[in-house]
Amino acid sequence: MTASTPLWAKGLPLDEAIHRFTVGEDPQLDLALLPFDVQGSAAHARMLGEVGLLSATDSGALIAALAELKPVTERRELSISAAQEDGHTALEHALIARVGEAGKRIHLGRSRNDQVLLALRLLLRSRLLGLTAQVRALASALLDFARTHEAVPLPGYTHLRRAMPSSLGQWGVGYVEGLIEELEAADGLWRRLDRCPLGAAAGFGVPLPLNRERVAQLLGFSRVQRSPVDAMNSRGRHEQAMLDWTVSLAGTLEKLCWDLSLYSTEEFGFVRLPDAFTTGSSIMPQKRNPDVLELARGRCRELRGIADWHRQIVSGLPGSYHRDFQLHKRPLLAGMDAAAATLDVLTRLVPVLQVNTARCAAAMSDELYAAHQAYVLVASGQTFRDAYRQIGEAVMAGRFVPDRAALSATHTGGLGALGLDSAASELKAVESWIDERRKQLDAVDARVFAS
């Protein structure tokens, strides 16, 4: 086996065009997977040594070499040649170069199928935790904005027409609540990912006394993905769940971008974007454009397209492994990168938004209080339908003058009870959840690479 021989090679000729076509983008895309492939391989080598399938000497040599390779792969300094085909081959060749014959034993008891399943599962856990932390950071920034501007009046809009009185505090905490819902969904997604597939091999297990539970424990999984058949059938399933989560998240982010873009126009003027968050026009000297909001909004639609792209690749296939799955790595990585970039810029923007309280107050016209005034009449004994008609006639006749201070919404979520403290408490719980999961992942290297 040379340093350019694929793991599956049997000495038979392969057409060069076929080789290029089948290799595709794997030498570039697998760089993102290599650190996790190293981590999973170290756990595998340790388990093989413990059950007697590898000698203590070979197991120790492999683990030591993998520990050396981990930072190299994190810096993306372990290259993958087109001849090697993928990261698995590059990693095995790197081990052989370091420890000789022992490197040829690392593949014992596993297939590239469950090897990549594990690397993807480890990658997804890490990226989900990172994205969750970003969502929490954006929600916290919006909560701080809501607290600071809790009482600043703001028209509430339906159909982009003024509807009822609101406030910047109510507007901001509304997005906090939406993000909290996505954070709750992330917990469910984490539980889906918290199953170790290694040991499934090509989808049928192997006739060896593997200790799959030990590998799961080393890598910080709560359990083994029991069925090898299901493990192979899950290729693409968990990745699709991750991308669908980003799409759901994008639904909230897109509306946030839309509102800020609208509210920062000269016509509304409720907020102003700092100059550092705008760009200029190549022809109009006065223009400052909200490109960051427009591109973030576009990213949200892009995430929907990426998720559909991924779904088209992984759907419509029979059970077990098929080479089609090689193609799903690009949309998976692209989707997670796009979500992370969008969350980053919005989290930077929210704390520096500049509020024009005078423009907000000036927009609070009398007709916003029409429903409130109808409720004043209801309190005096009228039916709502009669009160509704009476106030409508007054508005149309131009003689409507409401008592703006007569009523206030004191129910949960109303202007008098925004629930800011409850939202803060829930975000604190999410922070604790993230810290616990982070400790869980941080402890993995200490276990798998221990000498």
Residue 268 structure tokens: 């509304």
DSSP 354: E
Q: Which candidate, 101, 176, 110, 107, places its Cα nearest to that of 146?
A: 176
Please name the amino acid found at residue 418.
Answer: L
Classify 199 as helix, strand or coil: coil
Q: What is the C-alpha separation between 55 and 229, in angstroms, rounded?
A: 30
CB–CB of 47/210 below 8 Å? yes
Q: Which candidate, 23, 21, 25, places its Cα nearest to that of 334?
A: 25
Catalytic residue among 55, 81, 281, 432: 281
The question of whether 88 is a catalytic residue gets the answer: no
3-state helix, strand, coil in the chain (%, to 5): 65, 5, 30
For residues 114, 118, 124 and 130, what is the CA-based torsion angle, rounded to 10 degrees? -170
Catalytic residue among 159, 282, 411, 451: 159
Q: Is 242 exposed, middle or buried (0-12, 13-18, 19+ CB in 10 A)?
A: buried
Q: Which candidate, 4, 1, 2, places its Cα nearest to that of 79?
A: 4
The question of whether 41 is a catalytic residue gets the answer: no
Which residues carry out catalysis? 159, 281
